[in-house]
A and B are shown apart, each in its own frame.
Chain A
Amino acid sequence: MATDSAVLPGTLDLLILRTLADEPMHGWGICDRVRLRSGEVFRVNHGSLYVALDRMLRRGWIVSTWQITDHNRRAKYYELTRTGRYQLTRERQRWERIAAAMALMLVPSPGR
């Protein structure tokens, strides 16, 4: 089942940052990579994607450059900045906190 990545606001940012941590990528490539690595669970909506990319550009987490792809086409590539990497760490820690808290929540209460 494909889940809308807007399940938790901020998840999308984390996905993008993590994807770009591996290597610089263009927009479609990010969608594709996320889809593949999450085992088709996360399907990034391109609309949300470009809005999120714009936001991260404004915040200086990523920078963009026009480059030529392997197939000789022009594409806009995005790359993490140092701030972006720092932000990735913070988002990951936040996610882990939330996940841990959720896990605690789902433990059956004693005496039931």
Chain B
Amino acid sequence: MSWLQGVRHLVRSLVRRRSMREERDEELAFHVRMESEHLRREGMSEPSASAIARARVVDVTEPARWTLDSVWLDLRHAGRALGRARTFTVTAVFTLVGVMTVSIVTVAMLSALYLRALPFQDDHQLVTVQSTDADRPAGFNVSLPNFRDWSSQKAFSKTAVWDMMARGIVATGLDAQRGDIVRVAGDFFGTLGVRPAIGRAILPSDEQDETRMIVLSDRLWRGMFGGDRAILGRRVHLDGIPHTVIGVMSADFRFPASALAWASWPATMQQYMPRSTVTEQMIARLAPGHSPAMAQRELAGITARLHAEFPGARDDQATGAIVTPLRRALFGAEGTLLLLLGGAVVCALLTACANLACANLARAAERTGEFDIRAALGATEARLVQYWVLETLLLTATAAIVALIAAPWLLRAVWAHAEFVEFQTAQPRVDLWSIAAAAGLALLIALPIGVLPAWRSVRHHAIGAVARGGRVIAAAGWTRSILIVGEVATATMLLIGTGLALRSVARVLAQPRGFETSSVLTAELQLPLMQPVRATALVEALIDSIRRLPGVLAAGGIDHLPLAYNPLTGSRVASGIMREGAQSSDSTASGGFHAVDGDYFSAMGIPLLRGRLFTAADDSLTPRVAVVSRIMAARYWPDTNPIGQRFQAIGADQALAGQWLTVIGVVGDVRAVSLEQASLPDYYVAFHQGVSAAWQRYLVLRTSSTASDLAPPVRRLVAQLDARIPIAFATMKERVATSQSRRLFAGSALGTIGMIALALVLVGVYGVLSYTVATRAREIGLRMALGATRQQVQGEVLGAALRPVVIGVVVGVAGALALTPVLRQLVFELSPNDPMTIAASVAVIAGTAVLAGILPARRATRVDPNSALRSS
């Protein structure tokens, strides 16, 4: 408790300087008076007694009035001291720069996602609404009828739905561009609270209009129309259907980021969407006074009522709804990841600070002589604290400036790999928040680390040469142990996180994909505007010539490639399924629509399980056939042979409307949307039999050697066919890696920070141990002179150092266990408390600590007992 009083006194002497000064003045005045009284009693006469008393009691302890000069002096002194201790300064600055740069980058990314507002009006009122059921409590898409029901709730002031017509192609007759077109219903632009830069937005009333309308993105407007201001009223063709341009959005509107244009959806077409077709994304603006939770409760009530009252509503897949604030829905996963990384960065920061504090303590101990002199010359504790804080501030400020210079580079590099962030509404940059963070860090690090040695050096009292060595170590050893414990704990937690992330990636990659990835090359084709039949014939000819290339084992094409889209839009067009002989009222069936040509299945390595695949005999004159996936066969024809069964595809492709498809084969399941999501029912039709939107293609080739080698020959073939066709290559391996970019990003970021932390632990343990050995040389020499063997001494030195390491590991593991809910976000099919990962991390830390300790321990044994005893 006495140290507490000591701290209190120190704080008071710093904080209440004036009252302390006044007290000191009063005390000295009292002293003078007593002294003069004493002199009078001894016989001195009056004026002399007081004068002499006053002359004797010269106040040498009055705290010097603080001037700005003292700061300047201290800074120069600190600069010289740092210049002399070059190793320390360089190591410290490097460590700090590394950690600060990572911190600034993290703050910049967090600021872009969270602190800067979304470009929508009052974005805190915006929410997304998703359906839920017993199997999918996390939410899935909404159906149009559900949207109509839910829109009428008073919880929402405005609502809208949208979906991606990813097969959209916009054409003016001279030029065509294929890309993501967003189909909207409800008050899309009104809900978001945005206005087009030119013209007007699509309104709910436009749905009654048979005329199709389209709002262009700035990108499309400039690219296709050259920024022509007379754009309003012009006609463009979307999938062959004429649309009138009514507006152009501003350049910074990206919802979603890849959208080329937004198209209206006439009510007459909307009626074809049953309750069972869940393809829409719903957004809404909350009415004033309503919260997401309130809205969610209202919607759940409505849905339950609907199901009870209307049997027809059993088509509805949704049993409830989930309402999420838009920002969280957009950035939920990414934000959590970044916060996790932020936590890791904070850990690394703390580790670096711990190292710096240790080193500072050691230097303070070495420099006690210097500070004793300063204290004797009248420096107060406050000045000493000021000196140490300024010296540390000099280090941290230098590091902060260098970090701010380096940060933009690192930010650019990191962001380039952050492909998983889909809704880039604000570009991360080193903004005011980042600069503030850097400055704040510099101060926050400097203050405690600066005060610590000051406190120590002020407490240190030069008792006498005899006791000096031991006393210093004993006093500071306790603090150093705590710092090592902290370092080791944070490094342990970081390593556990890294291990979990990387093992999760391995688990994801080990999931049954359903398709091959080695030696498979894919190419994304953008065909020019032409009749669908011609487009299909073109692609077939292309596939034929590709098949004849040397090294190609199989070649085919498909409209949506697995993993080709990000998880938000999916690479799957869901449609309703109506089996022959099933009552329409209990069909909640849906399946993913795909159109293929060539030998797609063998090129992708998807096995044929029953029946046959498409042949050249299946053409536009023969009855339509389909190949279904294993899950689809098991779900919709569980007890019979699916071969020969018939079904209709609802809302998939205009060419299939009202047509019966006969099942001719069953193929293996494919994880198309994401490697982490289980396979869903899929069915495949042949382009050769006629598909209305035939311009989108992914070519797939299986090769006998390196997949990417075949890119140039394929490019040449395509150019020979039509030089205008753009083509983009990627191997399936690359696509798989991209799909895992979020996890890989987390794993590599955590791993990097973990490596830094490990290096810091290495340096820290080594430094502390070296210092201990160096200053305890006499003690060691004595022990060896008294008969201790080298091994014993080595073992003891190592053991003493490893005690705080062991405690640190225990604390670290406990911390990781406490952070289980956070770590859960990181893992895939792995327990956040996975024992093997924890054990491996502990082993790595222990190994590092032992490694760090070996050299100093060895040095301890090389101490010559005689010379050690002689030295003092």
Contact = CB atoms under 8 A, between A and B. Distances in A.
A48 to B, nearest CB: 9
B30 A28 contact: yes
Interface string A3-41: 000001110010000000000001111001000000000
Which of B30, B459, B467 has the most A CB atoms < 10 Å from its CB? B30
A50 B10 CA distance: 15
B30 A74 contact: yes
Contacts of A76: 23, 26-27, 30
Nearest to A51: B61
A74 B26 contact: yes
A75 B37 CA distance: 15
Contacts of B30: 26-28, 73-76
A111 to B, nearest CB: 25
Contact of A46 (B9, B31, B375): B31
Contacts of B13: 54
Given A28-B34, A47-B61, A60 B26 contact: no
A58 B23 contact: no
B462 A9 contact: yes
B61 A81 contact: no
Interface in B267-313: none
Interface stretch (B52-60, B217-225, B254-262): B52-60
Nearest to B376: A51
Contact of B2 (A10, A59, A66, A98): A59
B616 interface: no
A54 B30 CA distance: 17
Contacts of B713: none
A75 B461 contact: no
A55 B6 CA distance: 9
Contacts of A46: 31, 56-57
Interface in B211-265: none
A26 B23 CA distance: 13
Contacts of B1: 60, 83
Given A10-B464, A27-B27, A60 B3 contact: yes
Contacts of A74: 26, 30
Which of B4, B61, B467 has the most A CB atoms < 10 Å from its CB? B61
A61 interface: yes
Contacts of A63: 5
B35 interface: yes
A10 B461 CA distance: 8
A55 B461 contact: yes
Contact of A58 (B24, B56, B381, B464): B381
B33 interface: yes
Interface in A63-102: 63, 66, 73-76, 81-83, 94, 98
Contact of A60 (B4, B23, B58, B461): B4
B61 A10 contact: no
A32 B28 CA distance: 15
Interface residues of B, number: 34
A60 B27 contact: no
Nearest to A69: B30
Given A60-B2, A61-B2, A81-B2, A28 B26 contact: no
A74 B23 CA distance: 11
Nearest to B1: A60
B736 interface: no
B806 interface: no
Contacts of A51: 61, 375
A55 B30 CA distance: 21
A58 B33 contact: no
B410 interface: no
A8 B464 contact: yes
Contacts of A60: 1-6, 9
A46 B56 CA distance: 9
A58 B9 contact: yes
A73 B33 contact: yes
A80 B31 CA distance: 20
A27 B231 CA distance: 93
A97 B96 CA distance: 47
A92 to B, nearest CB: 14
A88 to B, nearest CB: 13
Contacts of A57: 5-6, 9
A54 B6 CA distance: 10
B458 interface: yes
B803 interface: no
Contacts of B374: none
B38 interface: yes
Contacts of A94: 463, 467
A34 B785 CA distance: 45
A14 B664 CA distance: 103
Contacts of B5: 57, 60, 63, 81
A40 B35 CA distance: 16
A80 to B, nearest CB: 11
Which of B2, B3, B461, B467 has the most A CB atoms < 10 Å from its CB? B2
Given A9-B464, A10-B461, A75-B27, A83 B57 contact: no
Nearest to B463: A10
B48 to A, nearest CB: 19
Interface string B50-74: 0000001110110000000000000
Given A27-B27, A75-B27, A59 B6 contact: yes
Which of A46, A55, A63, A94 has the most B CB atoms < 10 Å from its CB? A46
A46 B817 CA distance: 58
Contacts of B60: 47
Contacts of B467: 94
A81 to B, nearest CB: 6
Contacts of A98: 464
B2 A83 contact: yes
A46 B28 CA distance: 9
Nearest to A81: B2
Contacts of B61: 47, 50-51, 54
A73 B26 CA distance: 11
Contacts of B2: 59-61, 81-83
Nearest to B375: A51
Which of B9, B23, B462 has the most A CB atoms < 10 Å from its CB? B9
B459 A59 contact: yes
Contacts of A50: 24, 27-28, 61
Contacts of B27: 26-27, 50, 75-76
A27 B31 contact: yes
Interface in B330-382: 375, 381
B736 to A, nearest CB: 64
30 contacts: A9-B461, A9-B462, A10-B461, A10-B464, A26-B27, A26-B30, A27-B31, A28-B30, A28-B35, A46-B56, A47-B60, A50-B28, A50-B61, A51-B375, A54-B13, A58-B381, A58-B458, A58-B459, A59-B2, A59-B459, A60-B2, A60-B3, A60-B5, A60-B9, A61-B2, A66-B23, A73-B33, A81-B2, A82-B2, A83-B1
Interface of B: 1-6, 9-10, 13, 23-24, 26-28, 30-31, 33-35, 38, 56-58, 60-61, 375, 381, 458-459, 461-464, 467
Given A46-B31, A76-B30, A82-B2, 7 more contacts: A10-B461, A32-B38, A46-B56, A60-B1, A73-B30, A75-B27, A83-B1
Chain A to chain B: the 7 pairs with minimum beta-carbon distance, closest first:
A60-B2, A83-B2, A60-B5, A28-B34, A47-B60, A60-B6, A58-B6
